Amino acid sequence: MQFSQQHVVITGGSEGIGLALAREFVRAGAHVSLMARGQAKLEAAASELQAVADGCASSSKIRTFSMDTTVFEQVPVGAYRISHPYIVRILSTQVTSAMKAAQASLGPIDILVCCAGSAVPGLRLSRRPLSPHPQNAFPLDDCTHFQATSTSKDYLCLKG
């Protein structure tokens, strides 16, 4: 599969599976936007990916965007064209801002890889839709993936 000059956004891209995938996309010539919480880890990952690009004579561009997918703000229901009442109240402006900045920097997103996630030992978030606390209706990972996809959907759909 050809990824040359494709724009790939990877949430959770500073380490683990996200960083491993980023290495492969860079080897294939893709432009990569990494998103994660820690700026220091993002910078280290970007340096590593640049070394990979230099080593295989790739023209890949690497950008980093710091965001925390665990920080949510209350958003008015009408602010987004999403009909699910539990999702619209817990969107993160950090995710939205990072996705828009990535698109402004490297162009429309061709591929979105959602690897960001968090876990708290012993904490299990309820999936019951009747939860009195909307932020507990879906685990953080589901909300983050939903929002990253929602923010980039117009570009992804246009590409087919």
**Predicted structure pTM score:** 0.73
Residue 49 has pLDDT above 80, yes or no: yes
> Mean of the per-residue pLDDT values for the chain?
76
Convert the pLDDT of each residue in 22-46 to its tens digit.
Answer: 999 999 999 999 999 899 999 999 9
pLDDT score of 67: 86
Domains of the chain in start order, with CATH, are 7-71+93-120+141-159 (3.40.50.720)
Residues facing residue 114 across a β-bridge: 11
pLDDT score of 2: 83
pLDDT score of 97: 85
Convert the pLDDT of each residue in 75-106 to its tens digit.
Answer: 554 444 445 544 444 456 787 788 889 999 99
Amino acid letter, residue 28? A
Cβ(61)–Cβ(7) below 8 Å: no
Between 87 and 146, where is the model more confident? 146
16: left (phi over 0), alpha (psi -120 to 50) or beta: left
pLDDT score of 96: 79
Classified as helix, coil or strand, 10 is strand
Q: Which residues of 82-91 are buried (b: 16+ CB within 10 A; e: fewer)?
A: eeeebbbbbb
pLDDT tier at 130, thresholds 50, 70, 90: very low
Greatest mean pLDDT among 56-60, 75-79, 137-141 lies in 56-60
